[in-house]
A = this chain, B = another copy of it.
Amino acid sequence: MGLVVQKYGGSSVADAEGIKRVAKRIVEAKKNGNQVVVVVSAMGDTTDELIDLAEQVSPMPAGREFDMLLTAGERISMALLAMAIKNLGHEAQSFTGSQAGVITDSVHNKARIIDVTPGRIRTALDEGNIAIVAGFQGVSADKKDITTLGRGGSDTTAVALAAALDAEVCEIYTDVDGVFTADPRVVKKARKIDWISFEDMLELASSGSKVLLHRCVEYARRYNIPIHVRSSFSGLKGTWVSSEPIEQGDTKVEQAIISGVAHDTSEAKITVVGVPDKPGEAAAIFRTIADAAINIDMVVQNVSAAATGLTDISFTLPKTEGRKAIDALEKNRPGIGFDSLRYDDQIGKISLVGAGMKTNPGVTAAFFEALSDAGVNIELISTSEIRISVVTRADDVPEAVRAVHSAFGLDSDSDEAVIYGGTGR
């Protein structure tokens, strides 16, 4: 065997019992002959409690100090986990992000990893230790300040360490059994996916699937690190995310045509009404949005009404950025030139993801038919090579997801995924 990186989330180490349970699982991996590196998040609600304390002393906590504060959470969980492992008779040492060589840029609260220099981890492993590393945190290259990586940062820590240590696999332990063909809370018949390609996982992640964050999968793809997403509670095999299908027992897992259906109700839609239909107008709008540091998702421009020479431009963005975007556009209204703004946060997005749609014509048609049969009205459409997304009313999302999931043969009681005939998508 080789080197395994395991990552445990906050719900897996929420209390002393959880820590002891996780310690046993880690020791099992070690007993199987692996070198084991463990990345751990803060215990359960620790981070929320620290944020609450920060808000009590300052309405706008400074980034540097906020990061210093939050990183106390992983420091506690990693030290306790190392103690629990040693209590089982195995050697373990805990390391902060800084000690583990996780080097980041200087953007506090959402730093990006720019290098990993895991010399101390390597030494600890060579000396027979299980290495426990604080997730979610690093140290800035220029100022040597403590940084945090933002939401889902511990997964990225795990993948980055796996890459730097040339690990065989990065196991992400969580409170679900793996990646599903749809959110099981919405689709009761959702199936656990045995294997999914990096590309499909990236599309699912950017379409609302929350099991793995886009940044983490992107990192894994770049360094070709297989990820195994699995439950820290059940011990079942989970979902493999990798470049090539993995062997499962005697059979080789095949690439599915459709990997899954994702949905997202965290976005809002802004429509800029009465924009002159001339070159540079769209650029002026999106420059304004970009200057406000707001990421947008889908963009649609209506066909211009010939009589007026005016058109409407709609785009979607995180609801949390809605106020900022409206303010920025209003402020630049003289420069852009438009009649009015419409803001709509009662929208939802449904996305069908699967590399198979590149070679299986008719997927798009079947997708729209399924939505139509379910009586769901489509407001916006966007596509990539392996994804189709539509915006609908937020209320329609659960029914739309179930209809699409069923139409593409993804339900757990379906015999086989459906193959489509027809021409083009």
Contacts and interface: CB of A to CB of B under 8 A. Distances in A.
B99 A84 contact: no
Interface string A113-154: 000000010000000000000000000000010000000000
Interface residues of A, number: 39
A363 B94 CA distance: 56
A418 interface: no
Given A99-B144, A144-B99, A68 B79 contact: yes
A16 B53 contact: yes
A72 interface: yes
B71 A93 contact: no
Given A16-B53, A57-B84, A94 B79 contact: no
Interface in A251-289: none
Q: How many copies does the complex hold?
A: 2
A75 B72 contact: yes
A184 interface: no
Given A64-B93, A75-B72, A78-B68, A83 B99 contact: no
Contacts of A66: 79, 83
Contact of A83 (B54, B72, B144): B54
12 contacts: A50-B76, A58-B87, A60-B87, A62-B86, A64-B93, A65-B80, A65-B86, A69-B75, A69-B79, A72-B72, A75-B75, A99-B144
Interface of A: 16, 19-20, 23, 50, 53-54, 56-62, 64-66, 68-69, 71-73, 75-76, 78-84, 86-87, 92-94, 99, 120, 144
